[in-house]
Structure 1
Amino acid sequence: MIRTPLRPLARILRARERGENPDDIEAENRRRRHEEIQARAHRRAEGRLLLMAGLFAMAFATVGVRMGALASSQPTEPRAEVLSAQIMSQRADITDRRGRVVATNLLTHSVYAHPHQMVDPLGAARGLARIFPDLDEERLTRDFTGERKFMWIKRKISPEQMQAVHDLGEPGLLFGPREMRVYPNGDLAAHILGGSGFGNEGVNSAEVIGIAGVEKAFDAWLRDPANEGAPLALSIDLTTQQAMEDVLYSGMRLMNAKGATGILMEVKTGEILAMASLPDFDPNDRPRPLLKGDPSDSPLFNRAVQGQYELGSTFKIFPVAQALDLGLINPSSGINAQAPMRIGRFLINDFHNYGRELSATDVIVKSSNVATVRIAQMIGVERQKDFLEKLGLFVPTTIEMVEAPTGQPLVPQRWPAVTSATVSFGHGLAASPLHLAAAYATIANNGRRVTPTLVHGRQRPEGEQVLSPRAAAMSVDMLRQVVTRGTARGADVPGYEVAGKTGTADKPRASGGYYKNKVIATFASVFPASDPEYVLIVALDEPSTQTAGGGESRTAGTTAVPVAAEVIRRIAPLLGLEPKTDENLPSIAPRFEPRVEPGEPGEIKLVANQ
């Protein structure tokens, strides 16, 4: 803008020539300048007022339109959105074979603290220690009065605990929504499920991840959105699992055992209907693992899958079945049972003196070590190893559990004659009870290899034909005679044609050698023998029971067998098996009769009939 001078020289000179006052010219120019300034200010003010009026009009119009839209729309529940990085927290349910939920998700809250926002840190510490007894009040006080800006208090709390914390009225205590994994059946099937924990987590959400069992093995599948929340259907049956655990727990207590395990498997499919390991735990409150000592002392230890045991005489059916298959013997073949038997500098004896000769059937029925070794010698080392390998006894099982690879059988590096002999009657090779279940299922399945699984209804390729159907059928018949007239007569549950083999193996010392008074007692069974449908394994760790004469017995026939018999009595009706005889079952007194006695709430004890 060009400013007009207040005293223009030309006009001043002319004014002086005419005798006029030059100051009047200056005054006139100053007046005009002020008028122009005022005019410009007036125009600017009018423009601003018009702009503000337009903005207010637009704002009121927007509010009016929005109010009209809300008034005409249907009401809906508001949804909260987390603006922070998304954390995938949805996890599919796990069910049993009948669709009953064994693991699901529950909406809960976490509680955390901003100590710098607290009004009364000492009162907050005192209140939290009262609500959560496992928290240390002194430590909370130090944390709340220190330099920390954030700290977790509890990563998951119940609604009652949330209300109690809220009632403290402390603005520095805050809540965050999240999902948690819940196991509604408590410790039922705990080792199968394993448990879960939190992975990536923030104050408003947390990622639930599997940390053991099928939760870990199927972690990616359970969190995959592509599955659209479809549940994972396990092969177990909750009712059968509960019955097995109840009987197994009572039997363990009655037999004074350190631990116990049981496996029930379908012969045709390999699907596991029940699998228990005791002692167990509650996956809702999974204990910490042991950092030293014997792993089997921890309730987290899965004896069925991770346990590596010499399974004793339950192995004797393997060389006999192989010899039948190879045509080396038949059920009535005479086998030299003269004891003791010397192999190098080692002597092999029998529990009893069985005379000079036993039929091949009686080798199994009477459980002769010496005669079993004679049969293994007929087979030869290489063929024996090849057969055991085909049964899956040299590698970990492929069961869908993260613990499966840790169940690597302990197989001898060298296989001299004495090793071949001891392995034939279940010593020198350590495998898990699940290995034993799969091997017995293979024999019961007309000799076709069975692979155990925990997934229901999954199509899998047919297994290898390990044994001829004829040899397999003869082997099952021998196992049936063990129950009807041999070492497992206590397992002859009327109507269910139980066939099986006992095994009592001394426990090895960590320092070498064997304990004299500690054993693993096992009963491996198949039922019904005429058309095998199920395999049941029951094993007790360090059992001991009083005999009728006041002595002490640790053999499988007096410990594992009666427990297995009670398991069959309880679960056979649950499986829909009808007794195959017309006997009056109630008139036959069972060896064990479950009844509730004073003690722990809900505890079921197996009480021996005298």
Structure 2
Amino acid sequence: MKLPKPSFAPLARLAVSPLTLRLPGSRRSSAKADARPMSEKVRNKSRFTIAMTAFCCIYAVIGGRLVWWGVAPADDGGYRAFGQVVADRPDLIDRNGEVLATDIKTASLFAEPNRIVDADEATELLTGVLPDLNPKQLRTKLTSGAKFAWLQRELTPKQQQQIFELGIPGIGFRTEKRRFYPGGNTASHIIGAVNVDNQGIAGMEKYIDDTGLRDIQNLGLAGGEMAPVKLSIDLRVQHIMRDELAAAMKRYRAIAAGGVIIDVDTGEILAMASMPDYDPNQPAEALKKENLNRMSAGVFEMGSTFKSFTTAMALDSGKVTLNTVFPTNPFRVGGFTIKEFHSKHRPLSVPEIFQYSSNVGSAHEADLVGIEGHQAFLTRMGLLSRLKTELPEVATPTQPRVWKKINSMTASYGHGVATTPLQTAVAAVALMNGGYLIPPTFLTRTKEEADKLKTQVVSKRVSDEMRYLYDLNGERGSGRSAQVSGYRVGGKTGTAEKVVNGRYSGNKKFNAYLASFPIDAPRYVVLVVVDDPQVEEGKSNAQAAANAAPTAGAIIRRAAALLKVKPVFKEQGNSLLVSY
């Protein structure tokens, strides 16, 4: 049997190719052997180039992202998905451009509990820097295993540095927006406050949210700088108002005081304060009962200041003139006796009723107009319905459920009807500016804009007569203590007994002075209230003429020049006197 002859060609190729042997006389074989390794070198070099290029691209992308994260603003950081992103708010400025509220950046402390190594140690270290933290609650958060948890909002720079130096794994900082009020307490009840998430919860801050800012924030369009909101108040005058009210509280040992200044042509509120107040940088203080905004959120029986509206109503009815005379002897109605506080024991004319603040005379004026006419007039003046303005904190006045004759008569001199001091001042504006009721505003407004909103509630004749009565009382009556040389201040005092346990207390009073200046051509209405003042040393009583009126005078004395009212020191005739 013949076996196949073995072939060594494959072995020869395997042996020759890798060693690239060159045999003499075999040039063709040598060329083929050289071509194959050169081709493989080119392919290997291409593969290496591609690999290096890919690695460079990948690391370039990673490096670029790291650089971008390193230079990006802190509040656009990597924890955006955790917690609520605090949106920007517009600055609040006064009518002269002074900043009342603005946003600043602050650090807040958070934890990633799923990365906490030792919760007990972390709790001990953090409470050492932040002693207000509850250790038990803090440990519960740190052991929850969650991905994110707020620990403390709005740290001070010192607290942030101290915590940073602790080097606790799983603890970090988030840059947030915080509202800052440079003026502190100065205009707190007007400006309001925000919560920890920079959302308005009171005052004009809440108004701005309610009128569109919250919707813009929810749509994510509140980023970047926003145009400031200009308020009507003058920060300089506001400071004077608050300063004098604080002094009055101390001087008369009162539990509270308040005041407002209104432009009679535009309805702009130039200043309004209620004491005690609070620092909006510490908004929790606003919740204290004693820090209530008494000017717009409190209702009070305004006492004899209401005789301004009773007299205007009687004159406007056409049934009474300045020459009309009423008896002032006490009389009974509905089981009650209407009597004078200081009787003159004779009939009085309308100017005398106003000057001597006659309860009996005012009751007769109201009786002549009638119950329905009286209620309708007060409603027309805006004194019985909730005031419409930007400020959210506005109370609704109270009145008798059913008006009877006795209710009308007591309301004529400021008892039985309770309203806010602010709307009392707003109604008085109409008595001074020619008879036009103008909605008040805490935003800037031109006279042309105000003219489109105003409503005639009394005639110009009645307005002129009321200015005469204010001037008379300011010069010869209870308003003498509010006079300021050169500025001719007219007004009406009011002393109301406060209701304690359902009964009027003769020892507790709510005093007010309702004024306007310069009375020959009024530009501003000023109202000052003093709650439960005590008798000042050297004085005989604690009536409004002894405290509310001089406080109003002190405010006008300091603020008039800032309000661009020029003093007139030369003697002038009384241009308001008219023969009837």
Structure 1-normalised TM-score?
Answer: 0.80
CA contact (8 A) 1:309 1:431 kept: yes
- In the TM superposition, what is the alpha-carbon distance from 1:279 to its structure 2 partner? 0.7
Counterpart of 1:275 in structure 2 is: 272
2:471 corresponds, among 455, 472, 480, to: 480
| DSSP-derived class of the 1:375 partner | helix
Alignment partner of 1:103: what SS?
Answer: strand
Q: 1:160: Cα distance to partner? A: 2.5
Task: Please give the alpha-carbon distance, in whole angstroms, between the structure 1 residues aligned to 2:102 and 2:554.
Answer: 32
Q: 1:44 to 1:424 in 2, by over 3 A?
A: farther
| SS of the residue 1:384 aligns to | helix
C-alpha displacement at 1:78, in angstroms?
Answer: 5.0
Give 3-state SS (helix, strand or coil) of 1:112's partner: strand
Show the 5 A alignment for 1:590-609: none
1:53 aligns with 2:38: no
Corresponding residue number in structure 1 for 2:311:
320
CA root-mean-square deviation = 3.3
Q: How does 1:125-524 map to 2 (within 5 A)?
A: 125-137=123-135, 139-141=137-139, 143-144=141-142, 150-199=148-197, 208-219=198-209, 220-222=211-213, 224=216, 225=221, 229-287=226-284, 297-299=289-291, 301-338=292-329, 340-404=330-394, 407-457=395-445, 459-460=449-450, 461-509=452-500, 511-524=501-514
Tell me the distance in 2 between the aligned counterparts of 1:500 and 1:153.
56
SS in 2 for 1:535: strand
For residue 95 of structure 1, what is the aligned residue in structure 2? 93
Q: 1:130 to 1:385 in 2, by over 3 A?
A: same
Work out the CA distance in 2 between the residues paired with 1:239 and 1:124. 49
Q: Map 1:509-588; keep pairs closer than 5 Å.
A: 509=500, 511-546=501-536, 548=538, 553-582=541-570
- The CA deviation at 1:345 is 1.3
Q: Distance in 1 between matches of 2:319 and 2:165?
A: 81
Do the aligned partners of 2:200 and 2:206 also contact (CA within 8 Å) in 1? yes
| Equivalent position amino acid for 1:20 in 2 | L
Count of matched residue pairs: 533
Asked if the contact 1:124/1:168 (under 8 Å) is kept, the reply is no
Single out whichever of 369-378 and 150-159 deviates more from structure 2.
150-159
Structure 2 Cα separation of the partners of residues 462 and 385 of structure 1: 23
Would the alpha carbon gap of residues 454 and 154 (structure 1) be closer, same or farther in structure 2, given more than 3 Å must change?
A: same
Deviation, 1:440, is 0.6
**Structure 2 CA distance for aligned equivalents of residues 418 and 44 of structure 1:** 119
Q: In the alignment, residue 52 of structure 1 is paired with which amino acid? A: R
Question: Normalized against structure 2, the TM-score is what?
Answer: 0.84
Instruction: Return the letter of the residue paired with 1:326.
Output: S
Stretches of structure 2 lacking an aligned partner (at least 5 in a row): 17-36, 65-69, 572-580
Letter in 2 for 1:332: N
Paired with 2:468 and 2:526, the residues of 1 have a C-alpha distance of 16
Comparing 217-226 with 516-525, greater Cα deviation is found at 217-226
Return the offset for 1:302: 0.9
Shift of 1:167: 1.6
Alignment deviations for residues 215-239 of structure 1 (CA, whole Å, 9 cap, x no partner): 0011154464589611110000000
Give secondary structure in 2 for the equivalent of 1:284. coil
Query: Once the 2 structures are TM-superposed, how far is the Cα of residue 327 of structure 1 from its aligned partner?
Result: 2.4
Do the aligned partners of 1:325 and 1:467 also contact (CA within 8 Å) in 2? yes
Paired letter, 1:263: V
Superposed displacement of residue 63, structure 1: 9.4
Residues 66-85 of structure 1 aligned to structure 2 (within 5 Å): 79=73, 81-82=76-77, 84=80
The answer (yes or no) to whether the contact 2:278–2:285 under 8 Å persists in 1 is no
- Distance (Å, rounded) in 2 between the aligned partners of 1:444 and 1:497: 14
CA distance in 2, matches of 1:542, 1:30: 121
Q: Distance in 2 between matches of 1:524 and 1:449?
A: 16
Contact preservation (8 Å) 2:328, 2:347:
yes
% same residue: 36
- 1:401 positional shift: 1.3
Cα pair 1:94 1:234 within 8 Å, conserved? yes
Q: Secondary structure of 2:239's partner?
A: helix
For residues 404-445 of structure 1, the C-alpha deviation after alignment (integer angstroms, 9 at most, x for no partner) is 2xx100022211111110111111110000111101111111
Return the letter of the residue paired with 1:230: A
**Aligned residue identity for 1:569:** R
Which residue identity lines up with residue 570 of structure 1 in the other structure? R
Residue identity opposite 1:435 in structure 2: Q
Q: Tell me if the contact between 1:214 and 1:401 (Cα under 8 Å) persists in the aligned partners.
A: yes
CA separation of 1:222 and 1:241: change in aligned 2, threshold 3 A: farther
Question: Per-residue deviation at 1:195?
Answer: 0.3
Contact 1:96 / 1:236 at 8 angstroms: preserved in 2?
yes
Tell me if structure 2 keeps the 8 A contact 1:545–1:559. Answer: no
- 8 Å CA contact 2:515–2:527 kept in 1: the answer is yes
Opposite residue 150 of structure 2, the aligned amino acid is W
Q: Deviations over 1:68-103 (max 9, x none)?
A: x9xxxxxx9655645646946121111000011101
Distance 1:319 1:133, change over 3 A: same
Shift of residue 56, structure 1, vs aligned partner: 3.2
Q: Which residue of 1 aligns with 2:578?
A: none
1:348 and 1:46 map into 2 onto residues whose CA distance is 121
Instruction: Give the Cα–Cα distance (whole angstroms) in 1 for the partners of residues 554 and 126 of structure 2.
Output: 49
Residues 1:260 and 1:31: Cα distance change in structure 2 (over 3 Å): farther
